[in-house]
Structure 1
Amino acid sequence: MPSTGSPPRQPGEPIVVPPGLSGVAVTDTTIGDVRGQEGFYHYRQYSAVELAEQRTVEDVWHLLFEGELPDAQQRAEFVRQVRPMRHLSRGVRTALPAIARTRPAPLDGLRTALSLSGAADGLRPLWDLDEPARRADALRICAQVPTLLAAQHRLGKDLEPVPPRDDLSYAANYLFMLTGEEPSEQHAWAIERYLISTIDHGFNASTFTARVIASTGADVAACVVGAVGALSGPLHGGAPSRALDLLDAIGTPERIDSYLREQITSGERIMGFGHAVYRTEDPRSRLLRETAHQLGGQRVDFAVEVEARVLDLLAELKPERGLYTNVEFYAGVVMEDCGLPREMFTPTFASSRVIGWCAHILEQARERKIIRPGARYVGPPPPQPVPASA
């Protein structure tokens, strides 16, 4: 009978995978997952959306690091442990103005500040540490990232950094450090929801980057610096402000249809719609739409109207695409309503995602094996004679 299928793979021959590793599972994890066909994602065994509705950032942080949600006593102990870690060493505080002058974008400055902070705090390679020491380093980095981001933002505006307050929650403290004013309960609640909803989201590019670096045994700061670099790319973390730009470009309800039809028919991407994994509505979008509704205001009403027309027109003009609202659309609306400037939208994303990165870093460090895939060479066939120099 004639043979069917591909020839057997030879020993040492790399497995050919889809571009971008789409659909490829590269490891096992207990941290969480995204089920794109269902429009569902979870942290450990709990719905991430339900956690955002019912718990605090510090509860979910405990869940990802310790494997369980804390009871009242565990919560109090965890808070007592991590909140003092928000404070930066004197050497780092002294260097921040120079970093802000040379790297004015807070996310760019964060990479430099994290490298400095890791060195100043004496972070050692993961390979050389036991589990408690790795956990302590990860906790410290998670606690310091919001402080570093807020300080970089204020220094870039020629304002003095605002020291963290140990009596405020994760979200309220972050807003306080940015503005110098204690936020309203409603704004702290809304940002808390956003932060929890973005703590982790499967093996996205920045999380995978953090795990690759962790597999080399590097220190936690180095792993997070790499993750921040991946997040800074516009295809990953740079879209919340661009979704607001869409609302600004439309301007008034009368322009919604004409503007959107022109954008869609010309092939322009509609920011805030479509996702690499979800094939139905992004569950984070539902959560943040509800959050925006509770904040209220004309901007929210306009966003709801635009969203409805985008979905109708996409269904009419691009029925084969199956695009739905993603997290960025309402994330921008919520953050703007809570007083965050647009240049801080992606950094705010990083201020929560660092918790997910560090949970993955700790999990990867237990593997004690470097991630070292191969590549399929497709250049000119070697070996060829080296031409003589002219």
Structure 2
Amino acid sequence: MSDELKKGLEGVLVAESELSYIDGDAGELIYRGYSIDDLARDASYEEVLYLLWHGHLPNSEELAEFTEAMSAERELHDDVLDLVRSLAEADENPMAALRTAVSSLSAHDPDAEADPQDREANLRKGRRITAKIPTIIAAFTRIRDGEEPVEPREDLTHAENFLYMLNGEEPDEVLAETFDMALVLHVDHGLNASTFSSMVISSTLADLHSAIPGGIGALSGSLHGGANQDVMEALLELDESGKEPVEWAKDKLEAGERVPGFGHRVYNVKDPRARILSDKSKALGEAAGSLKWFEYSTSIEDWMKDEKGLAPNVDFYSASTYYQMGIPVDIFTPIFAMSRVGGWIAHVLEQYDDNRLIRPRGRYIGSTDEEFVPVEER
């Protein structure tokens, strides 16, 4: 057994997976053999979920059956909706509210008592959790903003239905297509912190209703999913400062602060998801008649690359993309969870299929020869 210390488990192989492949030097991301470029351009989120959960792209009949089964699960039980309402009225953090509400779904899941390794039950639970997360996020946001929730519809796609529940009107084709693409881009990314957290939990044979809230908790941090909110808040700060983008970025770094959205544990070049979303950010800006956010971003990107050798990650362009779609900044990370839940479920299914308790070691560096003194003598 090696005693080599690998902080953060960097470079340590802990599992084998058929789900996603990342080439950090080439800037390549593949889901089950398919390039992210092809899937983002041509596949829906529902198709990619099917691919991850079932191992192949669905034919028309399989896709229709899968989509119908998942869309039928969008409605929340009254108890869950009441919980969401109480969290919104208490002004709870959106990710904390999502974590709590998802955990509560087990109370009304007909498969809640199934064996944790029952694959068919897990697929049904996974469909329900994935279908209900958008409803939770939209209801929480509307209640918090003084509006009543909009009931989900079964005749809309996963992406369309969320935007409909959030805004109270059907999205146009461009917004729906852009949002669906963003969901595809975020659904899986190897053994990132939130995915690994879900796997660790499931390795104990805890069920999906325990593993998925664990993933949500891990995703909420600013070094993971919370970075997209940090990026948009930084861009808004830049806009209010009146400075040129490069001047602003220089001032941030000279003050010992960081420019969020740059660098990645895996990629040494531009994140392929950032490349795809930067084009979408530009297209949305052109449609709105203002390229301000896109130009801010590209100016900072070029300078960071030339001066610091850092490339943008997916958060750097997902932020301006969501913002231009009219999505509130503080639900950017819940939307990340809305997509990534599909990957969490896929990895948990793999973990259950070939389970071994995940139990690493820590190197003890404390004292070993302390003499115990009774409390009255201390």
Give me the TM-score of the superposition, normalised by structure 2: 0.93
Cross-structure match for 2:273: 284
> Unpaired segments of 5 or more residues in structure 2?
none
Alignment of 1:74-223 (within 5 A): 74-102=62-90, 104-124=92-112, 127-223=115-211
Q: Are the structure 2 counterparts of residues 132 and 185 from structure 1 closer, same or farther at C-alpha, using a change threshold of 3 Å?
A: same
For structure 1, which segment, 324-333 or 348-357, has the greater mean C-alpha deviation from structure 2 after superposition? 324-333
Which has the higher mean CA deviation after the structures are superposed, 193-202 or 294-303?
A: 294-303
> 1:264 aligned to 240, 253, 259, which one?
253
Task: Give me the whole-angstrom Cα distance separating, in 2, the residues matched to 1:53 and 1:317.
Answer: 32
How far off its partner does 1:281 sit?
0.6
Pick closer, same or farther for the CA change 1:126–1:239 going to 2, 3 Å: farther
Is the alpha carbon distance of 1:299 and 1:311 closer, same or farther for their aligned partners in structure 2, counting shifts above 3 Å? Answer: farther
For the pair shown, the structure with the greater C-alpha radius of gyration is 1
Aligned partners of 2:32 and 2:55 also within 8 Å = yes
The answer to whether the Cα contact below 8 Å between 2:116 and 2:206 also exists between their aligned partners in 1 is: no
Counterparts of 1:299 and 1:331, CA distance in 2: 19
Specify the code of the residue in structure 2 equivalent to 1:313.
W
When residues 104 and 117 of structure 1 are mapped into structure 2, their CA distance, relative to the original with a 3 A threshold, is: same
Cα contact 1:32–1:41 (8 A) shared by 2: yes
Does the CA-based 8 Å contact 1:41-1:47 persist in structure 2?
yes
In 2, are the aligned partners of 1:190 and 1:291 still within 8 Å (CA)? yes
Residue among 341, 353, 368 paired with 1:366 = 353
Unaligned runs of 5+ in 1: 1-8
In the aligned structure 2, how far is the partner of 1:308 from the partner of 1:80? 40
Decide whether the 8 Å contact of 2:285 with 2:292 is kept in 1: no
- Alpha-carbon offset, residue 128 of structure 1: 4.6
Partner of 1:302: 292
Map 1:295-374; keep pairs closer than 5 Å.
Answer: 295-297=284-286, 301-318=291-308, 322-374=309-361
Closer/same/farther in 2, CA of residues 378 and 187 from structure 1, 3 Å limit: same
Partner Cα distance (2:233, 2:112) in 1: 42
Tell me how far 1:197 sits from its aligned partner: 0.2
* Superimposed CA distance per residue, residues 109-148 of structure 1 (whole angstroms, 9 cap, x where no aligned partner): 1111112111222543675552211211112111111111
- The 2-side partners of 1:86 and 1:27 are apart by 33
Q: Distance in 2 between matches of 1:66 and 1:195?
A: 18
Letter paired with 2:58: P
Flag the 1:299–1:212 CA change in 2: closer, same or farther, 3 A: farther
Matches within 5 A, 1:8-87: 15-87=3-75
Give the Cα separation in 2 of the matches to 1:119 and 1:369.
28
Q: CA deviation at 1:86?
A: 1.1
Alpha-carbon displacement from aligned partner over 1:259-285 (angstroms, at most 9, x marks no partner): 222223334211222222110011011
Bigger Cα displacement from structure 2, 59-68 vs 72-81:
72-81
CA distance in 2, matches of 1:231, 1:30: 22
Q: Is the 8 A contact 1:199 1:355 kept in 2?
A: yes
Of 207-216 and 363-372, deviating more is 363-372
- Secondary structure of 1:85's aligned partner: coil
Match of 1:4 in 2: none
In the alignment, which residue of structure 2 is the partner of 1:5?
Answer: none
CA contact (8 A) 2:297 2:317 kept: no
Provide the identity percentage: 37
Aligned CA-pair RMSD: 2.0
| CA shift digits 1:357-381 (9 cap, x unpaired) | 1111111111232111121111112
Partners of 1:24 and 1:331 in 2: CA distance? 29
- Which has the larger displacement, 238-247 or 324-333? 238-247
Mapped contact 2:261–2:313 kept (Cα < 8 A): yes
2:372 matches 1:386: yes
Measure, in 2, the Cα distance between the counterparts of 1:255 and 1:138: 46
Hey, what's the Cα distance between the residues in 2 that align with 1:164 and 1:219?
26
CA-to-partner distance for each residue in 1:207-261, whole Å, 9 max, x for gaps? 0000001111111111001100001111111122322223222328862232222
Cα displacement string for residues 60-115 of structure 1 (whole angstroms, at most 9, x for unaligned residues)? 01001110011111111111211101112233223332232346222111111112
**Which residue is 1:227 aligned to?**
215
Contact 1:253-1:302 at 8 Å conserved across structures: no
Deviates more, 1:177-186 or 1:296-305: 296-305
